[in-house]
Amino acid sequence: MKGKTVLERLTPPQILVIGFAAIIFLGGLLLSLPVSTSNGEGLPFVDAMFTSTSATCVTGLVVVDTGTYLSVFGQIVLMALIQVGGLGFMTMSTLIALVLRKRISLRERLILQEAMNQSSMEGIVRLIRRVIFYSLTIELAAATVFAIRWSFDFPVGRAIYMGLFHAVSMFNNAGFDLSGEFRSLMPYADDLVINVTAMSLIVLGGIGFIVMADVMEYKKKRKLSLHSKVVLSMTGFLIVFGAVVVFIFEYTNPRTLGSLNGLGKVLASLFQSVTPRTAGANTLDIAGLRQATQFFIIILMFIGASPGSTGGGIKTTTFTTLLGAMVAMIRGKDDIVLFHYRLAKDRIYKAITLTLFALFLVVFVAMVLSTTEDHPFLMILFEVTSAFGTVGLSMGLTPDLTVFGKIMIMLTMFAGRLGPVTLAYALQPKPEKELYRHPEGKIIIG
């Protein structure tokens, strides 16, 4: 019997890590070519790798202005990286296999299960088909709306191109834009069409494909899964609560909401609450927000989007589980009950582990960068949390980062996109089954 190849020895988490790293490296090489920039010189290698990492990890942090510095070729490379990064390279490879009518092997199904954060392989290929169909349909519909709106401001060809680019970027929660001068969507802070379309894309991309499929089948099933109920309710709560907080904190701030009319204030508050779902676009000057608002956005970015989506963060389900654990402990209950369902203990342990991993990562990177970057700590913490949550919002620090700072942020984006737990599984040695259990002990908590 022949020995296994190197690829066959790799676990699904290891394949995901290597696959994303390979895409980032290829993207970095393409962006460093002279044809990728408007000045014909190409991006410096570190900047090219940073931009490729940001696009593949659907973050949106930029060291150069996408709309003016990159050529059309560079922007198309960026858009391809966003699409592959958002849907996942395994999803894209499955699409190619389905087009070529190739059979999806058991090993590929295992990797897809890991990539989509599913508990079993059952129906995984059917889910991937839906993911691809929903994604392309939503992006095409949004691109059409964007193109019609921008046709009033730009030539038709430019409007169509901008519509497609922003639809892909917003749905995949990437946050890249072509507005120029690092303005994101600030010129459209009170534009109803742009705001509603962008927010719809961000929310749909952030709730996860599993929830989308569940909602689409609601008429037939007449019920939603516990996962979908938790995601939709927590997402709705965070958006409404976040908008109210931003509205209250920024209402009189002349650098943000203070200069807008009534509709503009409402739209901008909603947008700034939706975009920390890991989208990265903004209609207000993030550096101009009050410190209380900036810190509040850090919390929203840390929570992030939902499992199986294009977004990052610890996820809405993890945050809900932690809140449930706190409520259960205060009420003296043994179980966490959500929508009349009891959560399994392993879900609780995973939520705690993921949150602590994420917290340690963000704190560690922020402490390191506070010694290498000459900027206020809140600015650094904002940037690190944005990188981990694959958000892309920035207070303006990214272009001023040192080479070391760029590398640290790149690694943080990479860890945030794959997830700290996936990285830990990929790096850990093969687990051995424990042959015994230690006696139970007690410690005093609190």
Q: Could you state, in order of their start, the residue ranges of all structural domains in the chain?
A: 10-423
pLDDT category of residue 334 using cuts at 50, 70 and 90: confident
High-pLDDT (> 70) share of the chain, % = 83
Structure-token pair, residue 122: 């059952």
Q: What is the DSSP annotation of 143-184?
A: HHHHHHHHTTTS-HHHHHHHHHHHHHHHHTT-----SSTT-T
Residue showing tokens 């259960």: 328
Residue in 361, 241, 243, 230 with CA at minimum distance from that of residue 302 = 361
Average of per-residue pLDDT values in the chain: 85
Q: Who contacts 138 (Cβ-Cβ below 8 Å, separation ≥6)?
A: 171, 201, 204
pLDDT tens digit sequence for 56-103: 988 889 999 998 999 999 999 999 999 888 876 556 555 555 555 556
Query: What share of the chain in percent tops pLDDT 90?
Result: 52
pLDDT band at 10 (very low <50, low <70, confident <90, very high): low
CA distance 306 to 304: 7
Res 1: pLDDT = 42
pLDDT of residue 160: 95
**Segment holding 416, helix H or strand E:** helix 403-418
> How confident is the model at residue 287, as a pLDDT?
92
**Is this structure's pTM higher than 0.85?**
yes
**Tokens 């202005």 — which residue?**
65
Q: Number of H helices and number of E strands within the chain?
A: 20, 2
Tens of pLDDT along 161-190?
999 999 999 998 888 999 877 888 899 999
Helices (H), 172-305: 192-207, 209-216, 218-221, 226-250, 262-274, 291-303
Q: Is the pLDDT of residue 283 over 60?
A: yes
The pLDDT tens digits for 113-151 are 555 555 555 566 677 777 788 888 999 999 999 999 999
Rounded (5°) CA angle 397-400-401: 85
Q: Residue 358 above 80 pLDDT?
A: yes
Beta bridge partners of 341: 338
Bridge pairing between strands 337-338 and 341-342 = antiparallel
Q: CA 411 to CA 405: how far, in whole Å?
A: 10
Phi, psi of 152 (to 5 degrees): -80, -15
The predicted model gives 433-437 an average pLDDT of: 66
The pLDDT of residue 14 is 72
Residue 408 pLDDT class (50, 70, 90 cuts): very high
The residues, ordered by sequence, that sit 6+ positions from 116 with a Cβ below 8 Å of its Cβ are 88, 91, 124, 127, 128, 131, 209, 210, 308
Residue 416 to residue 418: CA distance in whole angstroms: 6
CA distance linking residue 52 with residue 64, whole number of Å: 12
Give pLDDT, residue 115. 52
- Pairwise CA distance, residues 23 & 162, whole Å: 24
Range scoring the smallest mean pLDDT among 45-49, 310-314, 363-367: 310-314
Highest mean pLDDT out of 85-99, 207-221, 311-325? 311-325
pLDDT of residue 418: 77
Angle between helical axes of 192-207 and 209-216 (0-180°, round to 10):
100
pLDDT digits (tens, 9 = 90+) for 94-115: 555 555 555 656 555 655 555 5
